[in-house]
Structure 1
Amino acid sequence: MTTRVFHGGSVFTGSGSPLLGQAVIVRDERIDRIVPESELAAFLGAEPGGSVELIDLRGALLSPGFQDAHIHAVGGGVELLQCDLSGTGTAEEAVDAVRAYAEANPDEEWILGGGWSMDCFPGGNPTRDLLDAAAPGRPVLLASRDHHSIWASTGAIERAGVTSETADPADGVIIREADGHPAGTFHEGAGELFNTARPVTGEDLRYRGLLRAQEELIALGITGWQDAMVGSSAVGVPDPLTAYEQALAEGTLAVHVTGAQWWERDGGIEQVERMVAQRHRIAALGSPERLELGTTKIMVDGVAENHTAAMLTPYRDAHGHDTHNHGLSFIDPERLREYVTALDAAGQQVHMHALGDRAVREALDALQDARDANGPTDGRHHLAHLQIVAEEDVPRFAELGAIANLQALWATHEDQLDELTLPFLQEGQEARQYPFGDFVRADVRLAAGSDWPVSSASPVDALHIAVNRTTPGSDREPLAGAHQRLDLATAMAAYTSGSAYVNHRDHDTGTIAPGFRADLVVLDPSPFDLPVEEIFRSRVVQTWIDGRRVYAAESALATAEAAPTTESTARTELEGELS
């Protein structure tokens, strides 16, 4: 048995203010106890046989590992291995990146990838001619950063057989040139017009994408997540399930994953039976601490920047006049209530993308029907994104036991919001953006996630925005007002114990307490010790999973790297440190 002692810093247990002057004792993969540091020497003196490793936090913060409650890990990892535009900030940079990738990979027939940002292009709509110039004659297909739009070259459009005669699908929009020919941008369901033409993402690439993503995310302190699209491929994001199963079989899945099975919006209630069968099949593999499929993901609407988020009021045009567009409800509200009720009765958690205020209301109405039909359950259903929520709908979350799944990094003024969204919304709707503070005041449970690769997966960056509602160094007013800020302890809880609750892993993760798994992260400096406007300076220096260090930054804290110390040596060292 290996005993590890974390001491010399503060301890965030998963809620409330950090503990001071306390040490955390870990035995093998579990937390054994929390003891006052003044009692450590006596504790070590009473230790039975075995080794003791002292981890001096040197003032840093020990916290439960972060859990991302809404992420597309395999898709993000695959994109890192393809034409990755996530680091580009202008149209010119994006085109240059495509050109560089095309030149470096002359044998790839299709150029695939993603990460471009809508605010880099007029109206949020990049054109095919830019790709034709960067990669002449080659089919290029690139998902937007939010994966609600596709940028396609002429070669890709021709391979897919899309012409001026192709009608817009019911759940999407083809941006067109004056003569009706596709201009190069395909929003929402229109991106699926390429599904039969584009190459299938092979199982080997998916697996390598998972391992790459896992490495990236563990370095950010993330020890578990909910994958928000399992069992289907859409808008270029490959179905990750085979990759997870392979990693489980080969022992390379280090984190714990809750898979949200994708609800095909053109399908029907027969999907419930299939999802329950998949849940049982994965459960039969016998590793629920690593992978389980007890969740269903439903897309209720689109996104505000391409005017497909479902709104109670109409979008306005560029001149401030009302249009006839209220956004898209991807599933008829009557059917949504039927599906959610059936899923709840079958023991499936429901994870709903609900971004506009009408979508949020439709999702809550569906949960109300489920409760009326089934009574209270332990579904822990959650709504993700929640960009605009009508004030009268906020208290309904707590009444229905619905969890607000926050993507806090979005809750600030930035180009995509300020140029493509806010000018087209009604007066007063800027004040309803991401109403985190309202949720807290209404006693709504919170969880947190990133939606990576839509945006950065860094929990620290998200914490900074949640607390400040501005980006580092910005002189802008907090988005929607200072009253929508979260305090740091609440934001940390959302990303740890809150997401563990959503993932039905709150019995052994998300909290530092005896008996819980030693899934831990060390943050230096402690974000609680920084001015709130400098929270972004905190960095993950160590990540631990099941009591084993799986990541250490180059400048990581001093630990007993060379060899475990004996109890007597550890006691002597500790007495010296405490004296």
Structure 2
Amino acid sequence: MIFTGATHFDGISLSDNGSGVVVRGDAIEAICGGSELAAYVDAGGEVVDLAGKTLMPGFVDAHAHPLLGGLERLRCDLTGGRTIADYGRLIAEYSAREPTVPWILGGGWGMDAFPGGRPTSAHLDAVESGRPVYLPNRDHHSAWVNTKALQLAGIDARTPDPAGGRIERDTSGEPTGLLHESAMHLVEHLTPVADQDDYDAALREAQRFMHSLGITGWQDAMVEVVAGKPSPHHSYLRAQQGGWLTARVSAALWWDRSMTVAAVEAEVARMVELRAQARSSGDLYQAEMVKIMQDGVMETYTAALLEPYLDACGCATPNSGMSFFDEDVLRSSVLKLDAAGFGLHFHALGDRAIRGVLDAIELAQATNGPNDRAHQLAHLQLVDPADIPRFEKLGAVANLQPYWAKRAAQVDELTTPFLGTGRGARQYPFGDLYRSGAPLAMGSDWPVSSADPLDGVHVAVTRRAVGSAAGQAPLGVDQELDLSIALGAYTFGSSAAAGFPASGRLRVGAKADLAVLDRRLTDLPVDEIRSARVVNTYVGGALVYAES
């Protein structure tokens, strides 16, 4: 197959050099022009004239939850809503469409649709009161439940907050219908459990959807495997063995938040067994990473901070967020996982969580010696300036979720006032990380936010929301990234972070994991990058998506 007539993005830069790209089998055999290209054409190769489109490496999502997103797309999907009325309509439509399901499950609502970011059971009761409702929000750190669900779980004013979680309450102490972090499990454990066929269906839907966005591979950022229960891991194995996995997938195996120092060694051994299962199943699915979730999120005041959150009056509160692993457990876990050859994928939003994780990586390198494993920190909402140079020094990947780094109610109303203007101005320091030499990767955190890489790229280069008013101030000062840097982070950078060293580049010998965009990106102002769309996606030279 010979691609001609395209602008190229090679993983580093954009160019209009007139070369053709020759694919043989699953790899790029040549990038050439003139008589060399003519020889390939004369030899009978299939010519694909891209007529001014952009040819680039396929996007790799460095942090996503595809099966969770697939399940939500197949259930009560609220991701298309923006207001309380939208959510009420979507829930009512799903309830009418599925009158026999015992629970209303799904999710994807945004906190910014509700006063103070806090929905209540009363909102849900007005739409569905006969059946219990359990709907996680976009970031899956909070769940919205109706009165029926609260009653089934026995949650009332006397129910204590569980360790690592919080029940939202009114002034009289009664639960309001919003559960944070581990408090979600008070209801979640009552919901019908998805079986393995459900997970398989979710993977098929997620894979179809992500290929339509030019995504050729991803890191699944939470692959939990519990004995005797269905799991994404088994769906990936079944898909690979059944021949229907068409994406490159790197699993980040879930590290149990109840971990103790005494249990670390046995759990590392279990991770090694799961890794071996993936290695023996084929070459598209791998399980070389372990996910450690060190803190929560800013909007619920559970991200771990060096200094306390502020109250609505701007005064310091007693709350500095949550560290889900204490220092001894974190360091023991990182030391032993690193020694066992795993890359570590950390959830770390707050500056205290980020510092603790970098300290643990530094200790592991000093103890175990240097290695080429891609330890990475995802989210990075608030990084202390003193820690920014440490990413380059330690080779720690800054795994960015660019779609979040914009002015929106989630930031301007639900976060910045509770950080103060100083810390608020330092959110998502992408430009500082890049200039310091930090390795960059990008991901969506879908279904937390849009899976479309072009949405994320738009925000990375403008620091403004898609469709924002002309002249709107960007989030932060000098934190925008050049287009080539953002595209490179979402292709070459993410491929490297995921453990796909042969992907992510448009060069001879690279895997032919490719995306075709409908126009020349070199012709577009940065504010119009989002107007481009994917028309074809290839994995290993095979067409996996074509625009109808």
TM-score, length of structure 1 as denominator length: 0.91
Please point out which of 548, 552, 558 is paired with 2:542.
548
Matches for 1:493-508 after TM superposition, within 5 Å: 493-506=488-501, 508=502
Q: How does 1:197-236 map to 2 (within 5 A)?
A: 197-232=190-225
CA drift at 1:19: 5.0
AA in 2 matched with 1:478: P
Superposition deviation, residue 476 in structure 1: 1.7
Query: Contact between 1:132 and 1:138, CA under 8 Å: does it hold in 2?
Result: no
| Secondary structure of the corresponding residue to residue 166 of structure 2 | strand
Counterparts of 2:311 and 2:95, CA distance in 1: 38
| 2:274 alignment counterpart | 278
Q: CA deviation at 1:39?
A: 4.0
Write the distance in 1 (CA, Å) between the matches of 2:120 and 2:519. Answer: 45
1:405 to 399, 405, 414: 399
Letter in 2 for 1:417: V
| Correspondence for 1:489 among 467, 484, 487 | 484
Question: What secondary structure sits across from 1:515 in the alignment?
Answer: coil
Aligned twin of 2:232: 240
- Provide Cα deviations, 1:409-442, integer angstroms capped at 9, x if missing partner: 1110011111110111123112211111111111
Given the alignment of the two structures, is residue 142 of structure 1 paired with residue 135 of structure 2, yes or no? yes
Answer whether contact 1:207 1:243 (CA < 8 A) is retained: yes
Paired residues, number: 540
Counterpart secondary structure, 1:342: helix
* 1:91-118 deviation per Cα after TM superposition (whole angstroms, max 9, x unaligned): 1211221122112211011110001111
Paired letter, 1:520: L
Q: For residues 437 and 171 of structure 2, what CA distance do their matches in structure 1 show? A: 51
Task: Indicate if the aligned counterparts of 1:110 and 1:139 stay in contact, CA closer than 8 A.
Answer: yes
* Counterparts in 2 of 1:38 and 1:319: CA distance versus 1, 3 Å: farther
Distance 1:176 1:345, change over 3 A: same
Choose the corresponding residue for 2:163, options 144, 166, 170: 170
Establish whether residue 55 from structure 1 lines up as the match of residue 48 from structure 2: yes
**Distance across 2 between alignment mates of 1:103 and 1:21:** 55
Q: Indicate conservation of the 8 Å contact 2:59/2:515, yes or no.
A: yes
Q: 1:42 to 1:241 in 2, by over 3 A?
A: closer
> Letter of the aligned partner of 1:359 in structure 2?
A
C-alpha displacement of 1:242: 2.2
Name which one, 1 or 2, has greater alpha-carbon Rg. 1
2:110 to 85, 106, 117: 117
Give secondary structure in 2 for the equivalent of 1:429. Answer: helix
Task: Decide whether the 8 Å contact of 1:127 with 1:151 is kept in 2.
Answer: yes
2:152 alignment counterpart: 159
Aligned to 1:575: none
- On the 8 A contact 1:21/1:37 being kept in 2, the answer is no
Structure 2 residue 74 is the aligned partner of structure 1 residue 77: no
What do residues 257-312 of structure 1 show as CA deviations (whole Å, max 9, x unaligned)?
10100111112313211111111122122x1x211111000111001111111111
Matching residue of 2:444: 450
1:13 pairs with one of 10, 13, 21: 10
Counterpart for residue 290 of structure 2 = 296
Residue of structure 2 in register with 1:386 after alignment: 380
CA distance in 2, matches of 1:414, 1:124: 12
Q: Which amino acid aligns with 1:497?
A: F
Aligned residue among 242, 262, 269 for 1:250 = 242
Q: Equivalent of 2:255, from 251, 254, 263? A: 263
Counterpart CA distance in 2 for 1:66 and 1:117 is 26
Q: What is the rounded CA distance, in whole Å, between the counterparts of 1:403 and 1:505 in structure 2?
A: 15
* Alpha-carbon contact 2:7-2:14 (below 8 Å) kept: no
Segments of structure 2 that go 5 or more residues without pairing to the other structure are none
Distance 2:437 2:201 in 1: 41
Matches within 5 A, 1:404-553: 404-471=398-465, 472-474=467-469, 475-481=471-477, 483-506=478-501, 508-553=502-547
Quick one: distance in 2 between partners of 1:178 and 1:439? 42
For residues 491-538 of structure 1, the C-alpha deviation after alignment (integer angstroms, 9 at most, x for no partner) is 1110111011111111x2111222222110011212232011111111
Q: Percent identity, aligned pairs only?
A: 47
The structural deviation recorded for 1:44 is: 3.0
Letter in 1 for 2:191: R
Greater mean alpha carbon deviation, residues 157-166 or residues 319-328: 157-166
Contact 1:496 1:510 in 2 (8 A): yes
In the superposition, relative to structure 1, how do residues 238 and 309 fare at CA in structure 2: closer, same or farther (>3 Å)?
A: farther
Q: In structure 2, how many angstroms separate the alpha carbons of the residues matched to 1:494 and 1:61?
A: 17
Determine the structure 2 residue equivalent to 1:95: 88
Amino acid at match of 2:28: I
Q: Indicate if the aligned counterparts of 1:230 and 1:241 stay in contact, CA closer than 8 A.
A: yes
Quote how far apart the aligned CAs of 1:238 are: 7.9
For residues 230 and 107 of structure 2, the distance between their equivalents in structure 1, rounded to whole angstroms, comes to: 13
Matched AA of 1:125: R
CA contact (8 A) 2:6 2:18 kept: yes
Deviation at 1:27, TM superposition (A): 0.9
How big is the shift at 1:396? 0.2
Q: 2:328 & 2:157 partners in 1: Cα distance?
A: 34
Secondary structure of the 2:100 match is: coil
CA contact (8 A) 1:498 1:510 kept: yes
Distance of 1:77 and 1:355 partners within structure 2 = 25
Alpha-carbon shift at residue 195 of structure 1 (Å) = 3.5
The alignment partner of 1:409 has SS state of helix
Residues of 2 paired with 1:247 and 1:44: CA distance? 36
Match of residue 349 from structure 2: 355
Superposition deviation, residue 232 in structure 1: 4.5
Q: Which shows bigger deviation, 466-475 or 347-356?
A: 466-475
How big is the shift at 1:179? 3.3
Is the CA contact (8 Å cut-off) linking 1:74 and 1:238 kept in structure 2? no
CA distance in structure 2 between the aligned counterparts of 1:431 and 1:240, rounded to whole angstroms: 38
SS state of the match for residue 48, structure 2?
A: strand
Contact kept? 1:263, 1:297, Cα under 8 Å: yes
**2:367 equivalent in structure 1:** 373
- CA drift at 1:59: 1.1
Please state if 1:193 is matched with 2:189: no
State the Cα distance separating 1:162 from its structure 2 match: 2.2
Question: Deviation string for 1:546-570 (max 9, x for gaps)?
Answer: 112221213xxxxxxxxxxxxxxxx
The alpha carbon displacement at 1:129 in A equals 1.7
User: Any idea what the Cα deviations from partners look like across 1:59-108, whole Å, max 9, x if unmatched?
Assistant: 11110111001000001000001011111111121122112211221101
C-alpha separation in 1, matches of 2:251 and 2:28: 26
Q: Distance in 2 between matches of 1:239 and 1:179?
A: 40
User: Distance between the aligned counterparts of 2:36 and 2:449, measured in 1?
Assistant: 44
The answer to whether the 8 Å contact 2:196/2:231 transfers is: no
Aligned-partner residue type, residue 275 of structure 2: R
* Pair 1:26-2:5 in alignment: no
